[in-house]
Structure 1
Amino acid sequence: KSKLVLKLIEKLKLILLETPPYDLEDKNIKQYQGSILELQELLHLKFNIATEILLRQASTLADLDSGNMEKVIQDENVTLYVWANLKKNPRYKSVRFSETQIGFEIPRILATSDIALRLLHTHYDHVTPLRPVPTSLREYTATVNHLVKDEVKYEETAVDKELQEEGKQQENESNSVHEEETKFEEQSGSEVQTSFVREESEATKCELEMKLLSETVLSAQFLLIKNANEKPYIFEDNEVDLCQFTTLGGVYHLDILELPPQCKPTKGWMIVEILKEGLQKYIYPPETTEDVETESAFPPIEVTLEVQENVILFEDPMVARWDAEGKHWQTD
């Protein structure tokens, strides 16, 4: 089902990307973008539910050596790394997932806490906001198309009238010159002249439409350049320029979670307490630190990531983090 959701998201993004702006109405754009966001939230909710179910069974999946749970679940779109701190051993601060180079270095305060760490590696980017569709260009192009259609109709009417007048004039001249010819010959000549007039009319219409179409394309291109969003020249400190860079290799989501109540075997039954709130995040560092120096008392978690084998790097990659408040990527 996750693959189906991802396919739907990609199809909606493709529609917004490939459809000309003047063919999309505002309500359709809002509907497509809203559907994309809802599908992304649905996908993230599914990962949270799966993580919660896994963490409830952490005690039954514990490693024999460390006593803690380490689990890696992988498919073609995501890789999930989950570590549950069951023993709360203050000396056990280094975590390495088996057969990988991915791991954590956690501070002592977390090593003694009832927590779990989840590293979700998605091979897609659902964090960067969707790009807006240029409304001004869409409205202008639709207006231009409407005016062009009206102009084509007006020109076609004028051409038809002109050709009809020429046809009548030619027919009168033909009648005056060939009065002595038979009725059959007059009818035959009239049919030839009518077909010639029709062919000339169609050729003139086609030429007019091509001319107007060329003018419309030039106008649209000029407006596109005129209304193009200018690249900002001033960025905040350590902010990533999305006009120059893009995410590569997916996104890593690191979460510190509260360890849910563990299931307990009782007389052949497995009893587990299911919290109404569901999966909860562990607040670190605490919100009320008062006068304590946060960085020294609550040091950060060190994360080690492994570069994929199918990636060739010609220079050092830029690692960035998502700033939820500023809605941009930062390299600090």
Structure 2
Amino acid sequence: SSKATSAASKTKVKSSKAERLRVQREEEEKRLREEEEARFLAEQAEAEQREKERLEQEERERLEAKQLQGRTEELEEYQMLVEDRLRAADKWKAELRAQKKWDRYMLCDGSPDPTVTQEINTFLSLWAEEMNEDFQSVLQKSSLVLSLIEELETLLCETPAEELPEKDVTSYKQTILQLQQILPQKLNEATEHLLKNAKVLSDIETGNMQKVINSNHITSCIWANLNKNPRFKGYDFSDEAIGFELPKPLAMSNIAVRIIRTDYDHLSWQSQTFSPHVKEMGDLSAGDAVDQEDGAQETAPVEEAVEITAEDITVDQQETKSEGRKGEVDALDDDIVDLRQFSCLGGVYYLDVLSLPPQCKQVNGWCLLQLVDGGLQNHPYPQESFQMSLGMSLQEKELDSLISPPVGVYFRVSNHVVFFEEPEVARWDPTSRNWSMDVITQKKYNPEQREISFKMDSFYTFALFQDSHLNMPYQYWELNPKAGDEVALTIVCAFTELLVEMKGDRCRLSSVSNTDCDLSWLTGKWMTPLHLKSAMKSAGLNVFPAEDSGNYVSVNKKSEQVEITAYKEIALLSSSFAFGWSKWNHSCGFENVVIKVKEQKNLQPAASWALYMLSPTRSRRLKISESSGDFSDDLYDRSEFHSTLYHMVKDYSSPETMEMVKDCHHLFVDCVYQILNMTKVLTFS
């Protein structure tokens, strides 16, 4: 029985082993079958994919060939619809300039023609010879001078280089310089004339003279120290919301303090940081050689203007934000303001301490006046013995105990200018001819009251500055048609949202969010694109990148040809189509532009946006949407290539809409194109 049991056991073991081998064999066969099936399916899928790609490539080649066949015809129609319109607008503007020139020639209001050298020289000579003019007379003529400067700057800015001979450009720049130079001279003469009669004009209550004289562009606040009260600490010109703290050593001095605020700025152009580092000569307009930054003007009443140099240097274009410009600008002191990065806003303040001239004396009915050579004189402060630098070696708590303590200034920031951040304060350094923050101490700013105060080691010209690019890059933009040839451009920035409307050849700033400033002088006012750009920048609303702005802010760099063409086509279609920012514009490459487009028939928006990509040779509608996971340049189903965006959207638009596009006015197309090209929404968003 034991042998039988053993035999049964051996048989069972052999049976189990055979079963395992059978199972293993079946599993191996199954694995091989599955691998074979997987390999077959993979090969089949690969073949299908290759076939699909082959068919897609054939279809793409067919569409490209079809587009090339019709390219000449499409480009001819584009030429007629876009380029001919822009040329017609240029012709209209040339005729308008000619008419303005004729009207100026025929004008008989007694003012000199700034383009005629003889008339300007006569005007300047006669005014320079006038003596003992009162302040109001000087301010009245100063307004005329400023209007003449603006007239010349506008002429230089708006006139194409081919229409303005080089000799005329040089002559106009020299005239601007002469007009700028006479302003401080005449303001000093008016101040001297006023101070000679300080005792007559003195205030009974204080015993000193304090006088405020206003004009549209200049405000003069003058205080004369007649009482010489040793406890006098300063004076507040409350009506003008500005005042000063007088250093104690000057309380007993025979002095006057003058604060002149000008709306214009004739100083900044003298700074080596004012002009772009590099500027292509071929891109210059007639007025670019002396880039007055869209009419920004800056002249000091007490400082002589220097000769304008026509230094044309070109801007190195970069895609992303860099450490800053190289070479000469990099070598500047850290305290010097880079005027390519910062903008002077709210005017220029000229703070001077002056030696009080001899006063008129009444003797037997006669007014006797001692004449002093040299005219109005600055009073030296601090004294030469005071050599210490307030900004470097002294603690702020020690300033008030110095032998020559600092000068305090406080004022309310203009409510007509927007500061999105705390303003920077800088003083004008007449030696280096730069704005510098080196001696500005104890600065305090109250944003609710818009009040600022600070101290300086002496009396200087100063101004407020704001980062020119704080609203760049834009977060979003959208262009929407309104009734007729009228559109509205919305630009969403980091600190504000702007709405710019365009109608005919004019445009206006319609609204600004997140500000309580009084911008009634700007909003709702129709003007030309160039004037709107200048006005918005002077208000602190800079959405107009300069040629070197890529050095200071991240830029989605695009081919200039593609970008300019896109602006022209958007302008053509803008009366009937809405356009907007697309996130895929950052993913499509340097040679391509992606935008959102939708037809707005009878001003009723379509259900959804469509994406279009513009390239140097063709345009296409994309299959992806704004919510897709990845970028792809695949064409929209049953779509085709076209040579222009106009012909591309035509495939998906109603005939009525396209007829409206053909009927839009050439001045409207030109205006929209200018605004788009100025704001550069495709590269700065």
TM-score range, shorter chain: 0.5 to 0.7
Partner of 2:421: 315
Instruction: Classify the secondary structure of the residue corresponding to 1:60.
Output: coil
> AA paired with 2:409?
V
Write the distance in 1 (CA, Å) between the matches of 2:162 and 2:388: 55
1:65 maps onto 2:205 in alignment: yes
Distance 2:279 2:315 in 1: 12
Q: Which amino acid aligns with 1:103?
A: G
1:47-58 residue pairs with structure 2 within 5 A?
47-58=187-198
- Indicate how the Cα distance of structure 1 residues 300 and 63 shifts in structure 2: closer, same or farther if over 3 A, else same: same
User: 404, 414, 426: which is aligned to 1:298?
Assistant: 404
Looking at structure 1, the residues matched to 284 and 314 of structure 2 have their Cα atoms a distance apart, in angstroms, of 14
> What residue in structure 2 maps to residue 127 of structure 1?
267
Shift of 1:89: 1.4
The question of whether the paired residues in 2 share the 8 Å contact of 1:238 and 1:331 is answered with: yes
1:228 maps to which of 294, 302, 314: 314
Map 1:47-196; keep pairs closer than 5 Å: 47-129=187-269, 137=281
Distance 1:115 1:243 in 2: 38
AA aligned to 2:231 is: R
Instruction: Using the TM superposition, give the Cα deviation of residue 62 of structure 1 relative to its aligned residue in structure 2, in angstroms.
Output: 1.0
The C-alpha deviation readout for 1:236-287, integer Å capped at 9, x for no partner, is 3122221222211110011111100011112222222232311111111233
The partner residue of 1:327 within 425, 430, 433 is 433
TM-score by length of 1: 0.67
**CA apart distance, 1:138:** 5.2
Q: Is the 8 A contact 2:248 2:405 kept in 1?
A: no
Task: Output the CA distance in 1 between the equivalents of 2:176 and 2:383.
Answer: 34
User: Could you report, residue by residue, the CA deviation over 1:176-212 in whole angstroms, capped at 9, with x for unpaired residues?
Assistant: xxxxxxxxxxxxxxxxxxxxxxxxxxxxxxxxxxxxx
Instruction: Give how far 1:124 is off.
Output: 0.6
2: CA distance between counterparts of 1:63 and 1:10? 38
In 2: Cα distance, 1:51 partner to 1:326 partner: 27
Residue 239 and residue 29 in structure 1: after superposition, are their counterparts in 2 closer, same or farther (change >3 A)? same
Give secondary structure in 1 for the equivalent of 2:200.
helix
Q: Looking at both structures, which has the greater relative contact order when contacts are Cα pairs under 8 Å and sequence separation is at least 6?
A: 1
Match of 2:382, SS? coil
**Amino acid in the other structure paired with 1:232:** R
AA partner of residue 29 (structure 1) = V
Return the alpha-carbon distance in structure 1 between the equivalents of residues 265 and 433 of structure 2: 14
Q: Tell me the secondary structure at the aligned position of residue 82 of structure 1.
A: strand
Alignment CA distance shift 1:62-1:281 (3 Å): same
Residue 263 of structure 1 pairs with residue 343 of structure 2: no
Distance in 1 separating the partners of 2:249 and 2:389? 13
1:146 maps to which residue?
none
Shift of 1:117: 0.7
Deviation at 1:13, TM superposition (A): 1.5
Match of 1:3 in 2: 143
Structure with greater helix percent: 1
What amino acid is aligned across from residue 355 of structure 2 in structure 1? E
Shift of 1:87: 1.6
Q: Which residue of 2 aligns with 1:272?
A: 369
Structure 1 residue aligned with 2:599 = none
Worse-superposed segment, 126-135 or 247-256: 126-135
Greater CA deviation, 106-115 or 239-248? 239-248
Q: Secondary structure at the match of 2:343?
A: coil
Q: Which runs of 5+ in 2 are unaligned?
A: 1-140, 286-312, 317-323, 391-401, 439-685
Partners of 2:430 and 2:158 in 1: how far apart? 29
Distance (Å, rounded) in 2 between the aligned partners of 1:283 and 1:262: 20
In the alignment, is the contact (CA less than 8 A) between 2:425 and 2:437 conserved in 1?
yes
Give distance in 2, aligned partners of 1:40 and 1:252. 16
| Distance (whole Å) between structure 2 residues aligned to residue 77 and residue 124 of structure 1 | 7
CA distance in 2, matches of 1:246, 1:297: 35
CA distance in 1, matches of 2:428, 2:225: 26
2:381 corresponds to which residue? 284
Bigger mean CA deviation after superposition, 313-322 or 233-242: 233-242
How big is the shift at 1:135? 9.0
SS at match of 1:38: helix
**1:317 Cα deviation from its structure 2 partner:** 1.4
In the TM superposition, residue 294 of structure 1 has moved relative to its aligned partner by 6.9
Q: Residues of 2 paired with 1:118 and 1:243: CA distance? A: 30
Percent of aligned pairs with the same amino acid: 44
Across the two proteins, how many residue pairs are aligned to each other? 246
Question: What is the identity, as a one-letter code, of the residue corresponding to 1:39?
Answer: L
**Please, which moves more after superposition, 131-140 or 237-246?**
131-140
**1:117·1:255 contact (CA, 8 Å) conserved in 2?**
yes
Letter matched to residue 286 of structure 1: Q
Secondary structure of residue in 1 paired with 2:239: coil
Q: For residue 130 of structure 2, what is the aligned residue in structure 1?
A: none
Deviation, 1:23, is 4.5
Q: Distance in 1 between matches of 2:284 and 2:259?
A: 47
Aligned partner of residue 174 in structure 2, secondary structure = helix
- Please give the TM-score of this superposition, normalised by the length of structure 2: 0.34
Structure 1 residues without counterparts, runs of 5 or longer: 142-226
| Shift in Å, 1:31 | 2.0
Give the Å deviation of 1:137: 1.8
2:183 aligned partner: 43
Residue 180 (structure 1) aligns with: none
Runs of 4 or more consecutive aligned structure 1 residues displaced over 6 Å after TM superposition: 130-136
Q: Give the conservation status (yes or no) of the 8 Å contact 2:161–2:284.
A: no
- Evaluate the alpha carbon distance shift between residue 323 and residue 22 of structure 1 in structure 2; reply closer, same or farther with a 3 A threshold: farther
Q: Counterpart of 1:250 in 2: which secondary structure?
A: strand
Structure 2 equivalent of residue 207 of structure 1? none
Q: Which amino acid aligns with 1:263?
A: C
Distance 1:124 1:109 in 2: 33
- 2:155 counterpart residue number: 15
Between Structure 1 and Structure 2, the one with more strand by share is 2
**CA contact 1:119–1:252 (8 Å) conserved in 2:** yes
Pair 1:304–1:140, CA change in 2 (3 A): closer
Letter in 1 for 2:334: D
